[in-house]
Structure formats: structure tokens, C-alpha cells
Structure 1
Amino acid sequence: MTRRIPTIVKFQLCGTFLNSASAIIKLFIPLYLLGAYDLSFTTIGLCMAGYGAGCVVGAYAGGIISERLDIQWFTALCLLASGVVAFIMSYPPPILVVYFAIPLGGVFDGAFRPANLRGVMESAPLNSQFKVQGIYRVVFNSGVAVAGILAGSVGDGNYKFIFFLQFIFCCSGGLLILFCATTRSKASKQITTKLPFDESPIRSEETGTSPWRDRAFIIFIIGQLCALGIFDQMYGTLGFFLLDHVAANPNWIGYLLSVNAVLIVLFQLPVNRWIERNGVVNASRLGTVLLGTSFLFLNISDHLIWSVVTILFITAAELLLTPAWTMAVLNRSEGGERGKYLGIFSAAWLGHSLYGPAIGTWVYGSYGGFFLWWACACVALLVMLLHYSAIPLLWKRLDRVQTSPTEAGSTI
């Protein structure tokens, strides 16, 4: 399978792995700020919010810039810039530099994601779109898993080494992509593989001329933000609930999150093949149902087995929704302003950390975990209503082509 993938895609995937592995640094920024500068918890929280805001701004800007610059050069420069920021942070600079460097690092990290996703998918063969998207997810989560292992092995307070490790990862990824971009042949310099259902892209009145005027896309993004707010409870309030009601020690929380990462690595490709056969719309609806019911199992009993079931359902939802939504947005954006579409999509994906934890912990503290899980189910119902018509509209051109006799046997 990998033999049919162009070399540039393989290099972009290497950059994806190294970028996600460098996420180790996000686990240690609060401890770094506390140990090196003795900042208050409020100031540390504002710094982390600045990093998250930088990611959101960078994601949107990166999508727009990817329409104007060579994607490989741009993603390489983003990785190299992230490495430079990490190198500066490895030698504790003045605190004013830190206040500037943390959001700037978020900008570069955020800008890399939509441009890199676009570079991977547009360079993939026509008959391997779903497979390549699945490989992208596996590579990304493998990098996150490596980051977790490294966090446990080097998390002994040696923050200088951790930042230097991020510098090595980011710069290695940037140099790899830069090497491929400078050595590829002129004939393959502009690879822009179109999805097979968009041979004659049409920007209708429904889609408009901009994603901001695309009603179906905006409704989809609102639903995406609601769904990601539910997902975010896995990383915050779920841990509180397990400690308060299940009497699980912190190790179990880590084990459950590890199960999520391992299952994605193992099953993303088979699930993508299922989506290819059964359709993006069906996958999105099934994934939303699984997400909405996942946390309700915690209301059944305080036995640890129900937290395991919850994680399995959340993971299944993630396996279905991530590729389905990505392919729907890629389809909708074919023919114009793909960078903006992916920029908004990625910004929404990264931005849930700005509101998910705050809303979840407030509801948990005010009304308790049992109420929060029912609230998550109600929000999932809202997502289902918003996406019920939006997803088919984003994906409708596929249905139109597949019904034609000449394309009935084509695959993606």
C-alpha cells in the first residue's frame, strides 16, 4: 500500500509524526513556568490560554497561507520555526520573552496542521484518499503515544532537555520536508490531486464564494464545536469523576487514555475502509450516536468497567467522526478556497481547549458528574440535528457522481 504513496506524502507523514511527538512539551509548559519562574497559577493559566489562542489563529492563517505558498516549503518553515522557539525556551530567557514565545509557538504549531493535511491529501493517489487519511491519523496518534512515553521517561524536571528534544524533533521534520521539496522533479512540483467526484467543481449559490458564506459549512462547524466540547470531557472531568465516584487511582486515568490512543492506531485503517464502503454520512451519524451515549454508561454504576466501556465508545466515535468530517470538508472545498476551509476546520478542532474544560468543570462543580453526562447526551442530540442535513450537503457531489453509470464502479 505504501509503495503507491508518492514520496512527498511519505515525507509529510514523517513531519506529522515528529510534530505530534514534539507535543511532549505541552505537558511540561505549566511545570516549567512554575519551576523556572515561580509564576502564579493564574498567570500560568493565561500563558496556556495564550498558547491555545495562538494555535487557533495559526490554524486559520496557515490554511490561508497554504493557498499562496508552496505547501511543502510552508510546512517545513513552520516546523523549523517551532524548533527555534523551543530552542529559545530551553535556555530560560527573560520572562517577557516567555510571554511572547509561548503564543508564538502556538501559532506555528497551529499553522502546520491545515497546511500539512492539505499537502498529504492533495498529493495522494485518487484511489487511496481514505487509506491515506487513515495512515495520517495512525501516524499522528503514534507520535502522541511516543510523546507520552517520553514524558514518563524524561519528566524528572530536566525541562532544558525536554525543550531541546522538541527542537530536535521539529527541526528534523522541517529539514526532511525541505529536502524533499528541493529535490523533487519539476514535473511533480505541483501535485494537486482532485477527488474523483469533483472533475467539474462548481461553486453553487449554496456554497457561496467563501466558507464564511457557506451556510452548510458554518452549521457543520457549530456542530463540530459542540461535539468537541463533549470529547474534551475525556481529558478533564472524566478524571475528576473517576476519583470521586469510582475510587480509581490516577494510574487508571492514564491507562484509559492509553487505550484510546492504541485503539486508534490499530483500527483507524480498517474503520476508514468501512467508511469508504458505507459512506461518510452514515459514519458521521453513527459516530455522533456513539459519542452521545458514551458518557451515559457512567450513570449506570460506579464500577470501573463502565469507565472502560465509556472510553471504548468515545474511541469508536473518534474513529468514525474524524475521517468522515475531514473527507466531507475536503470535498466541499474542492474548486476554491480549500486553505480557508481547512483553516477554519483545524482552528475549530484546536479551539475546543479554550471552552471545553471551562464549561465542563463549571457544570461538574455546580451540578455534579451525573448531570454533566446527561448534558453531554443532550449536546450530542443537538449535534445530530445540526449535522443531519449539513453533512449530506458537504458530501452530496459524491452521491451525484456515484449514481452515474460511468463512475458507478469507481473507488476513492
Structure 2
Amino acid sequence: MLLLNFIQKKLLIPYYKAFTGLSVEVWWLALITFINRAGTMVIPFLSLYLTKNLHFTLENVGWIMSAFGLGSVAGSWLGGKLTDRIGYYKVMVYSLFLTGFLFIGLQFLNTLYAFCFGIFVVMLAADMFRPAMFVALNAYSKPENKTRSLTLIRLAINLGFSAGPAVGGLIITGLSYGGLFWVDGITCILATVVLLKTLNPKKAKVTDNYKSAIPESAYKDRSFLIFLVAMVLFGIVFLQYFSTVPIYYDNEIGLSEFEIGLLLGLNGFVIFLFEMPLIKWLETTKYTHTGLMLFGAVLVGASFLVLNISPWVGMLIFGMLLMSIGEMITFPFSNAFALNRAKKGKQGEYMALYSISFSVAHIFGHNAGLQLIDRIKFENTWYVMAVLSALCVVLLLFLKKQMNTKTA
């Protein structure tokens, strides 16, 4: 009985409270994001589809993934521009609806240049959604709940990415790879219908739609540009856990695919259980957004140094936990920092550049990590990642000092 009371008071009630107070519109936006991300199940299987079905070489796949990243950058930039001109609501509707039909059409492209162009256009349309979604979240969320609202969206994205590959594997088994494109397209169109039925732009909070009388361009905001460079560095380091680290688990440690899946799954499990309560607690502390981002970057950098201490599986788990906690802290508060900074000028432009920073990390992060392990091996690559994390921390320290000077 005492154990049940302890679980209820210390675990269940705080967990429940972490989700309370968020607006209905934010919950609908989270559901739309979940449907959209779960629907992009083609992406995890893209390399397999290209090599097994279209018989492309790995070099060809590399060019296609570069087109993927460039489309993401272009889409984020265009989405920000359009959001400032025609509003977040229209951009989200057009992006989801157009992406649905483009995903369906992608399966009919079977030459290298055609597929490069096709995936570029798909990502151009798909990633217009991201800056518009951030601005929508800013409009529908109360100021005091903004960081938790962002965390809920991250939770929806993580759940979508977890469910998508599992369902995608079943679809490939039952319907072939072609079925993935149809399901991806239909889910994007379904998300459009849910958006039109549930979100009303007239219900946006007036206070959160504030715009400066003399908008400042994000490109002239020195503090924001420093922040973006720091986020590119953080993104490059973080993405190694989805490219080079699994290869390390396989080649150097000798883990099976099942064991690697369990380790990577630990990341999603920890985020699902603890991110919302952690963010709610951190919001009550005296720490600034910049200080929290800095701490998160330290943890992610430390997770790579841990890998060089010992090949013991317990150390691998410890490294994954360090990375997960660092991710849980840095991403929500970097989102919140960007949204708060966007009030100085054009919100779409600010949030587009924030999205682009991670698109740039995708373009260079995976390839750079793979090149490094090929040339200087895993141990030295992890030291390089730790150095990049240190550079990110230095930039955030400089940003923190600059922000304190301006408010003094």
C-alpha cells in the first residue's frame, strides 16, 4: 500500500501535471505532427529501397541523400518566407497536402537524376511545414507553457518516428516497398484533413502574435547567428548516434542488430518517460535557456568520451543515457530560445533559420562522421566529436555572456 502511494504521489501525479494546462490546439497540433511523422516511414527504408529495388550504388545513394538534405534546407527557408507572407496556417495546409501527392508520385521515379530531383522536391514541400508549425505553436500556446508545448511536439515526433518504421516493416512484408509510398502520401493528406477540421487560426493568442513595429531581420541578429552556429555543431555531434555509433556497436563491440535496436530504443524510451516531467521541473528553476542548452551540450559531448573509456556494455548504456538527457534538455530549450528571439522580428524567418541549422547538420554530419571513422578510426572520431561539443559549449558561453550584458 505504501509503495502504491509512493508511486502515485512521486511518479504518476507529477507525470500527469506535466501534461496539464496545455491548450486544446497544442494537443491537436501534436496529433497532426504525430500522423505526419509516423507517415514518413519511407525515410528509414530509403537506402534499402534504392539499393535493393532500384539497384543504385552506394555512391548514387550518397548523392540522393545530399539532394534530400538540400531539399530540407530549401523547404525550411521557403516555409519561413511564406509563413511571414501568407501565414502559418496556409503554409501548413499546403505543405501537408502537396507532400502527400508528391510521396505517392516518388515511387514512379527510377533513374538517378529523376530520383534526386524527386526527393529534393518532396523535402522542399515537406519541410515548409516545420517553421510554420513552430510559429503556430507560438500562437496557440500560453507564454508560461511554451517550452512544455514544444516538448509535447517533440514527444509526438519521437512516437511517430518509433511507430513509423515498425509499421513500415509490416507494409513492406505485405505490400512491397510501393505500399510505403502510398501509405506515406495518404497519411499526409489525412493530417491535412485533421488540421482543417481542428485548428482555427482565429483562436490564436493575440499576445503571442506580437510583432515588433520595426521588425529586425534574423540575419542581422548577431546573438541569434551565434546560437545557430552552436546548433549546427550540436546537430553534427548528436546525429552520430544515428549513423556512426550504430556501426561502432556492430564493428567494434560486436553487438547484434537486436542489441543495437535495444540500445537505440533506450533513447526513445527515456524521452517518452522523462522529458515532459524534466522540462516542467527545469522551468521552475532559476536557470536560463542558454545555460540549460550549454549543460545539454556538455552531456552529449561527454557521452562520446565515455565510449573511449571501456567497451563494456554498461558503459555503452551510460553513454546513451548521457546523450538522451542532453538531448532532452537542449532541444526543447533551444526551440524556446528561438521562439522568444523571433518576437524581435519576422517569426517565420527566425524559425526557418532554426530549422535550417539542423538541416545543415544533416547534410554534413553523417558524411563527415563516416569519413572520419574510415580515416582515423572510431576512438579518434569520438575525440573529434567531443571537441566539436566543446566548441558548441564555448559559443553558448559567449552567447550567455552577451545576453547577460544586454540585460544588465
TM-score tier after normalising by the smaller chain length: 0.7 to 0.9
Contact in 1 for aligned 2:138/2:208 (Cα 8 Å): no
Contact in 2 for aligned 1:328/1:391 (Cα 8 Å): no
Q: Secondary structure at the match of 1:327?
A: helix
Q: Residue 33 of structure 1 aligns to which amino acid in structure 2?
A: L
Residue aligning to 1:294: 303
Distance in 1 of aligned mates of 2:211 and 2:190: 39
Residue aligning to 1:408: none
Distance in 2 of aligned mates of 1:395 and 1:328: 14
Q: Secondary structure at the match of 2:56?
A: coil
TM-score (norm 1): 0.87
Matched, 1:40 2:54: no
Distance in 2 of aligned mates of 1:395 and 1:255: 42
Residue aligning to 1:343: 352
The CA deviation string for residues 248-284 of structure 1, in whole angstroms up to 9 with x for no partner, is 1122222111111121121111121133122323311
Matched, 1:355 2:364: yes
Residue aligning to 2:186: 168
After TM superposition, the structure 1 = structure 2 runs for residues 196-235 of structure 1, keeping only pairs within 5 Å, are 209-235=216-242
After TM superposition, the structure 1 = structure 2 runs for residues 208-357 of structure 1, keeping only pairs within 5 Å, are 209-278=216-285, 279=287, 280-357=289-366
Name the CA shift for 1:361/1:34 in 2 (closer, same or farther; >3 Å): closer
**After alignment, is 278-287 or 255-264 more displaced?**
278-287
Name the CA shift for 1:39/1:295 in 2 (closer, same or farther; >3 Å): same
Q: Residue 235 of structure 1 aligns to which amino acid in structure 2?
A: F
Count of residues paired in the alignment: 387
* Deviation for aligned residue 1:347: 0.9
* Deviation for aligned residue 1:60: 1.4
Distance in 2 of aligned mates of 1:171 and 1:97: 24
Q: Residue 375 of structure 1 aligns to which amino acid in structure 2?
A: V
Distance in 1 of aligned mates of 2:404 and 2:155: 24
Distance in 1 of aligned mates of 2:387 and 2:232: 14
Q: Secondary structure at the match of 1:67?
A: helix
After TM superposition, the structure 1 = structure 2 runs for residues 19-168 of structure 1, keeping only pairs within 5 Å, are 19-90=36-107, 92-93=108-109, 95=111, 97-156=114-173, 158-168=176-186
TM-score (norm 2): 0.88
Name the CA shift for 1:277/1:74 in 2 (closer, same or farther; >3 Å): same
Contact in 1 for aligned 2:291/2:400 (Cα 8 Å): no
Percent identity of paired positions between Structure 1 and Structure 2:
22
Q: Secondary structure at the match of 1:355?
A: helix
Residue aligning to 2:3: none
Name the CA shift for 1:200/1:209 in 2 (closer, same or farther; >3 Å): closer
Contact in 2 for aligned 1:6/1:124 (Cα 8 Å): yes
Distance in 2 of aligned mates of 1:84 and 1:191: 32
Residue aligning to 1:11: 28
* Deviation for aligned residue 1:66: 0.9
Distance in 2 of aligned mates of 1:281 and 1:40: 43
* Deviation for aligned residue 1:392: 5.9
Matched, 1:372 2:390: no
Name the CA shift for 1:341/1:190 in 2 (closer, same or farther; >3 Å): same
Contact in 1 for aligned 2:26/2:140 (Cα 8 Å): yes
Residue aligning to 1:409: none
The CA deviation string for residues 158-193 of structure 1, in whole angstroms up to 9 with x for no partner, is 111111110121111111112235xx48xx255444
- Cα-Cα RMSD: 2.5
- Where do 5+ consecutive residues of structure 2 fail to align? 1-16
Name the CA shift for 1:236/1:108 in 2 (closer, same or farther; >3 Å): same
Name the CA shift for 1:392/1:325 in 2 (closer, same or farther; >3 Å): farther
Distance in 1 of aligned mates of 2:269 and 2:207: 31
**After alignment, is 153-162 or 376-385 more displaced?**
153-162
**After alignment, is 19-28 or 384-393 more displaced?**
384-393
Q: Residue 223 of structure 1 aligns to which amino acid in structure 2?
A: A
Contact in 2 for aligned 1:212/1:218 (Cα 8 Å): yes
Distance in 1 of aligned mates of 2:60 and 2:344: 44
* Deviation for aligned residue 1:154: 2.8
The CA deviation string for residues 228-253 of structure 1, in whole angstroms up to 9 with x for no partner, is 11111111211222223211112222
Distance in 2 of aligned mates of 1:209 and 1:342: 14
Q: Secondary structure at the match of 1:143?
A: helix
* Deviation for aligned residue 1:89: 2.7
